[in-house]
Amino acid sequence: MLRKNPTGHMPVVSETAFVNPTAIICGKVVIEDNVFIGPYAVIRADEVNDEGDMEPIIIKRDTNIQDGVVIHSKAGAAVTIGERSSIAHRSIIHGPCEVQDDAFIGFNSVVFDTVIGKGCVIRHNCVVDGLDLPDNFHVPPMTSIGADFDLNSISKVPPKYSAFSESVVSANHTLVQGYRRIANEL
């Protein structure tokens, strides 16, 4: 469901994207080509800063936002999800935040006030709060990363997790095409 926010902004959704009918997309949100938005996802850009301004939430092309994901932004701050990225089931992405291209955010993870570098893989049940991750970092399951975390204690992404991330993007790209075809049949 596409909704206007209190400041009058409506989402802008590419004709080649698929938004599940149970998802809620509200306000100053831009969804680019071939994006998959799964069931019960909520993407909401509706808060303004002290000056009354609001930055958009942008979901770039070929990205998938899976079931139950919440993307929101505090006080009008920007959120950008890069190209070919996967935000897995029940994750929370809260702005200010940037997830760069080819990243994977695992099930039930929380990302806030950070930049997640290109090609990063954050596994399930992780928290990344207030510390930017360089490109190609691997965050093991159930890791909590805050401002004082030593990034030298985690490694680069192993090839098997890069391949997994690519396969998730491919599978969801196929879903976009399939669900759009079904929607056109009804």
**Active site residue ranges:** 47
Percent helix, strand and coil across the chain, each rounded to 5? 20, 35, 50
Sign of CA dihedral 3, 71, 65, 78: positive
Q: Are 54 and 9 in contact (CB under 8 A)?
A: yes
What's the token pair of residue 117? 């570098």
First CA to last CA distance, the chain: 17
Cα dist from 169 to 30, 35, 97, 108, 155, whole Å: 19, 10, 21, 18, 23
Spatial distance between the Cα atoms of 79 and 30, rounded to a whole number of angstroms: 10
Spatial distance between the Cα atoms of 140 and 138, rounded to a whole number of angstroms: 6
Backbone angles phi, psi at 95, to 5 degrees: -80, 155
